[in-house]
Structure formats: C-alpha cells, structure tokens
A and B are shown apart, each in its own frame.
Chain A
C-alpha cells in the first residue's frame, strides 16, 4: 500500500436525480486503523461505502482503495474488501455452512473447505452448521455476516451499521474482535449511531447531507467544534430547556438523564445567555463537551433542508 493509506479518495460525489447524496467527500484512512463513520440517517454514509466497493458508480471523484483505482478497478477492490451490509444479506434459506461455502466459492478460494471449517470453528457454530441462517437471532446473524465477509481474508472491511439491534454484551465482544483484527493490520470503516462505539474508533468522520463536516480523533473532533458546554441539574429541567432554547448564544439544550447539556460555539455569548438562570435553584458547571454534544451540534448546523 503506498504511504500506508488503505483508503485515499478525493471529491467522491454521487447524485440520485437532483439530490446530491454524497458531495465531494475526501477521506483518508490509514492501514490498520478503525475509522468510525458517523452521520444522521440519509446523510450518505451507505452511498459512500457502496461507491468505495464498486456497488455504485461515482459521478465524480478519484483516488485509491487498497492501492487500486476506486473508479476503474472495482473488480480488484472487491476481491480484497469485505462489505457487511446494513441489512442481513445472506441467504436465509441456506444453512450457515452453505452460506459460507457459497461465499468462499464466489471468491474462488483454493482452500475453500478449510476456510469454511475454520470460520465455523472460530464462530463456534460448527455444531449448528446445518441450521438455516434465517433461524438465527439478530446477534448471531451479525456474527455470521461478519465471518462471511471475512472468509476471503480481506484487507479492508466496510461495515455498515454492524451492531444495529445487537445487545450490549454482543456489541462489546464485537468491538473487542474488531480491535484485535485491526491490531493484525486490517483496516475498518464502520458506520454507527452509537456514541460509545464512536469513541472506540481511532478516527472519526462525520458526514451530514452528503458533506464531510469533520474528521479526526475524538479529541480533534471535540476541539474542532469550538463548542462550550454547560451541564445543569435542578428541578423541572424540561421547562428550563424550553426557556433556554432559542436564546441567542444557545445552540442546543439537550437532556442527559437528570442533567441538561447546554451548548454553544461562542463561550461568551453562551455564558451571557444562561446568566439569568444561574440561581440557587440550579447547579451549573462547565463540562468538556461530549461526542454526542458535538454531533448534535454538527447535525444542527448542517440542517439546511436535508432530511435528517
């Protein structure tokens, strides 16, 4: 891989009719890195991933994926990329073993039987190999899908909301595995809506309305947002939030359990705006903005008529 970049694309653009789904997105992901890909629903995450692995033709853009031209060499890219779709996309009417075997054949693997057997063992599914994939629970389906898209030893994994609808324990195990694989040199691009998962990524890309808004490590992203956040606790926070919202200097007032996070990107204006409410009733303290504050902020500022 030249200069250790698994993904190095610029100006990737995709239009569907008049709608620009992905608008000149640049992205560089280093080999062995886990890149979290975040953004509201319909922001273009899936479209971007599909362009990377040749499932959609880009209207504009250039660059490389695993060293291959992302526009002209999608055939070669497909061989070395594992793509896990958002929706379970293996054959529910085939058994676990038959699904894995089909995938292994599709990649014309020389040691097909071995690869399938190893995968089944690693999954701990050897005994249930003849069970139909459609009968598996959500967590197991997700594990099967991950195993199947890794059967051909890909160098890059594109995982589209791999943990949606998966319980917390299974999610934790999943992320442990991802980190282990990244340690072995695999590169990951993972979309997620979970902030705890975002914080487990080496680097984050946030996309909204098809535009890349921010890119960097968690602390980079927080810093770049220039956001100041105050946390307030006290009685009837709902009414307080109503009063605060819409005041100049306050861009968001979001409930976090028994707290309210009040944020704005101008520290002075924010402090001025909350001043009338700083009385003995409420306990105000300035906090480091969390990823969620940053993302809600980004979503708010980018909402120029985009379906969010």
Chain B
C-alpha cells in the first residue's frame, strides 16, 4: 500500500465524478449555471442600450404656420424623439412630465412660422425630465442639429439667407428636476429600491426553508398554527428591517449626497411599505417553493438580476426594446424607482404615483396568494 503518495489521480478523479453526480442531482444549481449566462447575454446583448432612442415626447403646438410642423417632422425623424401626444398648454405638459408619461415636452410657440420667416429667431422650448441624465443627454445634444437640418429643405431660394445665419431658431432647453445632471440624484434614491429588493427577497426566501432544513418545520406544524399566522409573523420583523434600510439611505441621500427632497417624505414612507411588502411576499413565495436555503438564495438571485437590469436603475428604461420594457413592468422595482424619483426629485403627490403604486400592490397580492397556497400545513 502506498500511503505517502503525494497526489493520487484516482482519488482526484473520484472527487470529479462525485461532483458531477451531485451537480446533476441539484437541478436548480445546474439551471442557474446555464440560466444566468443566458439571462445576461439576452439582457446585455439585446435589451440594454445606453443610447436610448424613440423617447416619448409631448408637443405644445401653438403655431399655425407650416414651419412648426416641419420642425416637428424633423424631430420625429431624428429617431431620438417619438411624438406621442399633443397637449394644449405648457402646464398640461408639466403634468405629463411629472407622471413620467413623456420624457420631453416640446413647445412650438405661437407665430413660430411667421417669426422664423422674418428672421426674428423664434424660440423652441424643450423641457426634459432629466432625473436620469443618461436617458436624456444624447437626445438633447442632437436636437440643435436636428432643427437646423429639418429646415434646410424649406429655407431655400429667397429664404436661404436664413439657413445661412448661424441659428434661425433660438433653442432653449430646460432640464427639469435635475438641471445640473448630477447622476447621484438619480442613483441614490434608486438605490433604496435596489437594496430593499436584494435584502428583503433573500431574507424571507430563507425564512421557511431554514425551518424546513433544520427540521423545526415539523415541530412548528405539529403545533396549532395557521399558515397566515406563520407567514405574516415572519414578514413583520423584516418590514421593520426594511424601514431601517430606508431611513439609512434617506439620511445618506440627504447628508452625504445632497439629493433634493422636493416631495412628501411621509408619502414615500407609505409607498415604501407597499414595496417592502411586495418583496417580502416574493421571498416568502420562493421560500415555499425552494427545497433548501441554497435554492432559495438562487431563486432570489434569479429575481434580483432582471429586476436590476430591466427596472431602469442601471440603464435607461426607455432605451430597451418593447419586449424588455414589458418584462420590466412586471417587477416592483421598476415602479418603485419611478415613485421614489418622482417623490424626491419631481415632488410627485399621491395622484401622480397612484398608477405605479397599484401595480406594486397587484404584484404583492399575486405573490402572497401563491405563497399562502403553496404553504402546506402538512408535510405532504
């Protein structure tokens, strides 16, 4: 017997074989090893675009001449803007921006065509929702050239002197909500949603699987308990933890990053409750599906990764293709990001965030229903 063999190929091979057998048995881990690269490939390869185009814009068209329309055609054809609706007044335009229904409002003033022809350099006002500077900067940057080239066709013959002047139009840009384009203003409030998603889903994901794995579930079930008592009893402590996180991030946003807090913080705290509940419900549901703690962790990660990438936190939401946007709309984080940015930066009120809030609440209800249904009062 060779007892002092420094390295045995046979023993090493035995280890390799054992690892492969275990890998094959653990379907979820195997699925994750295949699934994660697939998700990343698809999302990074197809969905994520840091130069978003076709951004929705609302138009206030007060001009009765033809040149206003020419300018709008040019804007639409540039590919950066998608003129989605016509609004009557500037204040209506502001509402559309506040609710996030459009990224821009383009104002073509009264007598635009007349003033242009006179060489009076009429103004075009572009108001942009600049909460996420990355989403708007390219579009804003392109506009000047877009305007000039749009008019080139019309400003010919006797009007060519206008085209020759440096700028026939006085383009004014108002970057609303985040005029200095400070990235932190966008990232730090968003981080609140990201941190809550990550920790809340994971921590409750482990909650029931831990009981099952340690054998304490059998004991718990042998006592006169009801599913809702157990599930809600497990959720409440983490709601508290969630609020501690919210408070920490808000404090950091205020004291370290000088993030403006325009809106009502009380409203934000109420909304945060719904969002925390959504993530806890998701975690609890994972917990009832997963066989052990590792699987629960993996499921949380599966949920977290697309949440992060598709919510608009890392990359502009509107830069993604439609299918990715539709998928993104499912995740509570997507809606919470809009709400938290809306409240802190835009000063949104309850009416402005109601639509987003509903969608989070719906998600919570669905997840919790699945969780309660899946929670077994027996060991079957």
Contact = CB atoms under 8 A, between A and B. Distances in A.
Pair from one complex: yes
Interface of A: 50, 53-57, 75, 78-79, 81, 83, 85, 87-92, 103, 106-107
A55 B218 CA distance: 8
Interface in B188-231: 214-225
Given A55-B218, A89-B215, A107 B378 contact: no
Nearest to A75: B224
A106 B222 CA distance: 10
Nearest to A77: B224
B259 to A, nearest CB: 39
B378 A56 contact: yes
A90 B219 contact: yes
A103 B220 CA distance: 9
B379 interface: yes
A85 B378 CA distance: 14
Contacts of A78: 222-224
Contacts of A55: 218, 221-222, 378-379
A95 to B, nearest CB: 15
Given A54-B222, A81-B222, 19 more contacts: A50-B379, A55-B218, A55-B378, A56-B380, A75-B224, A79-B224, A83-B219, A85-B215, A85-B222, A87-B215, A87-B218, A88-B215, A89-B216, A90-B219, A91-B216, A92-B214, A103-B223, A106-B220, A107-B224
Contacts of B377: 54
Interface residues of B, number: 16
Interface of B: 214-225, 377-380
Contacts of A91: 214, 216
Contacts of A103: 223
B160 to A, nearest CB: 83
A89 to B, nearest CB: 4
B219 A85 contact: yes
A278 to B, nearest CB: 46
A91 B378 CA distance: 19
A83 B378 CA distance: 14
Among the interface residues A55, A57, A88, A103, which one has the most CB atoms of the partner chain B within 10 A? Answer: A55
B218 A106 contact: no
Contacts of B379: 50, 55-56
Contacts, number: 48
B216 A90 contact: yes
Contacts of B216: 89-91
A90 B221 CA distance: 12
Contacts of A83: 219, 222
B222 A53 contact: yes
A90 B216 CA distance: 6
B243 to A, nearest CB: 24
Nearest to B229: A106
A110 B217 CA distance: 24
A81 B380 CA distance: 20
A87 B222 CA distance: 14
Contacts of B218: 55, 85, 87, 89
Nearest to A134: B214
B210 to A, nearest CB: 10
B378 A54 contact: yes
Nearest to A94: B216
Among the interface residues B218, B220, B377, which one has the most CB atoms of the partner chain A within 10 A? Answer: B218
3 residue pairs, one from A and one from B, having the closest CB atoms: A89-B219, A83-B222, A106-B223
Contacts of A85: 215, 218-219, 222
Contacts of B378: 54-57
Contacts of B224: 75, 78-79, 106-107
Nearest to A16: B380
A85 B377 CA distance: 16
A57 B380 CA distance: 7
Contacts of A107: 223-224
Contacts of A87: 215, 218
B151 to A, nearest CB: 73
A92 B215 CA distance: 11
B59 to A, nearest CB: 62
Contacts of B223: 78, 103, 106-107
30 contacts: A50-B379, A53-B222, A54-B222, A54-B377, A55-B378, A55-B379, A57-B378, A57-B380, A78-B222, A78-B223, A78-B224, A79-B224, A81-B222, A83-B219, A83-B222, A85-B219, A87-B215, A87-B218, A88-B215, A89-B214, A89-B215, A89-B216, A89-B219, A90-B216, A91-B214, A103-B223, A106-B220, A106-B223, A106-B225, A107-B224
